[in-house]
Amino acid sequence: MDHQPKFFENLSGTGKAIGVLTSGGDAQGMNAAVRAVVRMGIYVKAKVYFVYEGYQGMVDGGDNIVEVSWESVSSILQVGGTVIGSARCKSFRTREGRLQAAYNLVQRGITNLCVIGGDGSLTGANLFREEWSGLLEELAQKGKIDQEAVKKYAYLNIVGMVGSIDNDFCGTDMTIGTDSALHRIIEVVDAIMTTAQSHQRTFVLEVMGRHCGYLALVSALACGADWVFIPEYPPEEGWEDSMCVKLSENRARKKRLNIIIVAEGAIDCHNKPITSEKVKDLVVQRLGFDTRVTILGHVQRGGTPSAFDRILASRMGVEAVLALLEGTPDTPACVVSLSGNQAVRLPLMECVQMTQEVQKAMDEGRFVEAVRLRGRSFENNLNTYKLLSHKKPDAELPKTNFNVAVLNVGAPAAGMNAAVRAAVRVGITEGHKMFAVIDGFEGFSRGKIKEISWGDVGGWTGQGGSILGTKRTLPAKYLEKIADQMRTNNINALMVIGGFEAYESCLQLHEARSRFEEFCVPICVLPATISNNVPGTDFSIGADTALNAIVETCDRIKQSASGTKRRVFIIETMGGYCGYLANMGALAAGADAAYIFEEQFDIRELQANVEHLTEKMKTSIQRGLVLRNENCNENYTTDFIYQLYSEEGKGVFDCRKNVLGHMQQGGAPSPFDRNFGTKISAKAMQWISKKLKETYRKGKVFANTDDSVCLLGMRRRNLVFQPVAELKNETDFVHRIPMEQWWLKLRPLMKILAKYKTSYDVSDSGQLEHVAMHSPKEAETGAI
């Protein structure tokens, strides 16, 4: 980035008052957003008010609009729902109601509103903003306020954040609450699978989504469901026959269970509803399978927010305050949202109009258009699901005569198996013979390699760890043996799924090409490691699951500390030299500090942290949480920090320490990791097919250019294939981390929310963009 960093210190909130409200249906993560708005608001010296019970509280006024302090939002980060309440409000739909609301806000000098809700709530906010000056004039005429107030509070600024589990809002990749709802669905599916397997049952699961099939689609992708019904993509005429044929084929392949997922708004191509009961009756009548229906209902809205939702909501909350501070009378109402891994601001009404366009397209039966309007992420999910769920008969598959091998390298990471499954199935669909290598390069050198079929990878998405087995061994010491195996098995391409070792391995194979022609084949690395320390990508498969494990443990520890009072916990996380887990874990768990290798610290900083905690113990929040990355400093060990805090905190607080260890590597993969692993693996396999075609000359594959050994990573908003030879310059090989890491920009966020003074570079935010319509081509190229 060549731009000069722009810091928000010059954005003062002095004299400004911000009201925050949650409206419409609740969603997990709303509290994290409320907390971030309140703390960022107070940090920039603005007054912040809770508006209880949504718009109803704004109309009723009185005790429903209350100024809040820093401590008011303590301990709400891990709570689902919304602590300030949400209500449907009829009176706000009338001008009289809005007149009363305007009066209540002006009484307290509130001219900045942060609204967290769905498209209905945000449309209401925008109307309120447009009418504002007229409402004030009317209040002045009625003698309720004077002309000075009309001038002083002349315009209302509005920033929205989308809180909705359905992910039905155009312009944002993920709405607050969607990831947590997927967690609830996948927990249920995983539990149902074990009982369904025991009895050879078929389960029909109904998930929320009256107008949007996102939850149904992604959960189907994440659990490998046999069939999915969504409103945007109704099944073709005669779907009853095709579905029953597919279910019985799966049973014939020794699959002991079937899972069918139905969105509550599912329809057929004549716009007639498809209900879970209808699907069940069909399966029972036609196939006689033992079939059960499970309606998930409000379970999906409940429970604690996932790590992803807490970080998303915290980022959006801070961004919302910055947008309000920069607002002028001419700024349109905007929503802060996420595009890829980038926080963006979009005009509120453009998003709302596009969201309404989707519904209109569906009502008019223009379903292809509806899918396109939903955005590239939705379209990509749908294409990947179609690719992986149904095997074409062998006679219809192309035959390429290429053999492609898949292997895992490095430490196990949740989501590796989902990636292997997607690679195998897409490879077979493309006409290749797929081979699985057992135990990484070590197993490869010993000839532990076997052909793997479509059915062999059934049910792999939900399995943690690495089914193929994985070793950290690099290929350098076995090059000759591996080359022999590649020749013997006629391997024409490699897909290597793993962490830093996988990246290093492929560099070694690339460098050995001059000696071994066998390595002159297309090679693709998929980043999979809990440490998230692979160059060339913002996220790696497995990091989200590990982050959730850390956050879950931190929640429990915080609860214990709250009970005993005046206690500080020091928690050690994994990650090698990469501070991602410690830093993001601290942000998602509401920790007071996180020590990481990337940001050097000395005894003075440790001292300042102890003093900060001593001050905190004088308030009503009498507990502390400190995370430490395992390799952040060789002398300031976890024991050293624990002893220092214990000594310095004597008489004020006591200390406990906790080393989380390998629990961070285990567990069932989170929905994000299943989905991310599946999508990038499918994309990588398509890249391999393309490269195989390009490099096939005179009866053999010969690929010796740099761009035939690539790593597929997510960079800001896009998925990019990058030659490993080029990534070399971006890598610190001694500490096994990338030289530049995007998440360090979020570090000040954690400090601000923990009440530290810091400077925060806001050069990435601030520009209002427009909602981009994408072409169908784009869905294939960059999106995740």
Residue 94 assigned as binding residue:
no
Q: Tell me if 205 sits within 8 A of 260, measured CB to CB.
A: yes
Residue 652 assigned as binding residue:
no
H-only helix segments in 527-670: 543-564, 580-589, 603-616, 638-648
Residue 664 assigned as binding residue:
yes
Residue 350 assigned as binding residue:
no
Residue 530 assigned as binding residue:
yes
Residue 567 assigned as binding residue:
yes
Residue 89 assigned as binding residue:
yes
> Which helix H or strand E contains 737, and what residues bound it?
strand 737-738
Residue 315 assigned as binding residue:
no
Residue 164 assigned as binding residue:
yes
Residue 633 assigned as binding residue:
no
H-only helix segments in 142-229: 147-152, 178-199, 214-223
Could you tell me the end-to-end alpha-carbon distance of the chain, in angstroms, rounded to an integer? 23
Q: How many CB atoms lie within 10 A of CB 435?
A: 20
Measured distance CA(640)–CA(294) in Å, rounded: 52
Cα distances (Å, whole numbers) of residue 655 to 41, 326, 626, 638: 31, 42, 10, 12
Residue 310 assigned as binding residue:
no
Q: Could you say which DSSP state residue 685 is in?
A: H
Cα distances (Å, whole numbers) of residue 178 to 430, 574, 669: 33, 27, 17
- Alpha-carbon Rg for the chain in angstroms: 27
Residue 93 assigned as binding residue:
no
Residue 25 assigned as binding residue:
yes
Residue 264 assigned as binding residue:
yes
Residue 351 assigned as binding residue:
no
Q: Which amino acid is at 396?
A: E
436 three-class SS: strand
Residue 529 assigned as binding residue:
yes
Q: How many CB atoms lie within 10 A of CB 70?
A: 16
Residue 224 assigned as binding residue:
no
Residue 511 assigned as binding residue:
no
Closest CA to 230 of 247, 205, 195: 205
Residue 735 assigned as binding residue:
no
Number of H helices, E strands in the chain: 25, 26
Residue 559 assigned as binding residue:
no
Exposure string over 247-268, b if 16+ CB within 10 A, otherwise e: beebbeeebebbbbbbbbbbbb
Would you report the helix, strand and coil content of the chain in percent, each value rounded to 5? 45, 20, 35
Residue 575 assigned as binding residue:
yes
Residue 656 assigned as binding residue:
yes
Residue 564 assigned as binding residue:
no
Torsion of CA 264, 265, 269, 270, to 10 degrees: 110
Residue 171 assigned as binding residue:
no
Residue 510 assigned as binding residue:
no
Residue 630 assigned as binding residue:
yes
Phi and psi at 717, nearest 5°, equal -110, -5
> Which helix H or strand E contains 451, and what residues bound it?
strand 449-451
Identified catalytic residue from 60, 166, 173, 538:
166
User: What number of residues does the chain have?
Assistant: 784
Measured distance CA(534)–CA(504) in Å, rounded: 10
Residue 209 assigned as binding residue:
yes
Q: How many CB atoms lie within 10 A of CB 436?
A: 23
* Tokens describing residue 559: 């609860």
Q: How many CB atoms lie within 10 A of CB 231?
A: 24
Measured distance CA(406)–CA(450) in Å, rounded: 10
Measured distance CA(564)–CA(287) in Å, rounded: 59
Residue 665 assigned as binding residue:
yes
Residue 663 assigned as binding residue:
yes
Q: Tell me if 262 sits within 8 A of 205, measured CB to CB.
A: yes
Closest CA to 5 of 765, 767, 768: 765
Residue 71 assigned as binding residue:
no
Residue 184 assigned as binding residue:
no
Residue 604 assigned as binding residue:
no
Cα 287 from chain centroid? 38
Residue 165 assigned as binding residue:
yes
Measured distance CA(708)–CA(497) in Å, rounded: 16
Residue 298 assigned as binding residue:
yes
Side-chain half-sphere of 226: how many Cα atoms within 13 Å?
25
Residue 174 assigned as binding residue:
no
Per the annotation, the verdict on 764 as an active-site residue is no
> Which helix H or strand E contains 751, and what residues bound it?
helix 747-753
Residue 200 assigned as binding residue:
no
Contacts of 558 (CB under 8 A, 6+ apart): 75, 78, 569, 589, 590, 623, 625
Helix axes 307-326, 30-43, angle to 10 degrees: 40
Residue 747 assigned as binding residue:
no
Q: How many CB atoms lie within 10 A of CB 310?
A: 30
Residue positions forming the annotated binding site: 25, 88-89, 118-121, 164-166, 201, 208-210, 264, 292, 298-301, 472, 529-533, 567, 574-576, 630, 656, 662-665, 736
Residue positions forming the annotated binding site for substrate: 164-166, 201, 208-210, 264, 292, 298-301
Enzyme catalytic residues:
166
Residue positions forming the annotated binding site for Mg(2+): 119
Residue positions forming the annotated binding site for beta-D-fructose 2,6-bisphosphate: 472, 529-533, 567, 574-576, 630, 656, 662-665, 736
Residue positions forming the annotated binding site for ATP: 25, 88-89, 118-121
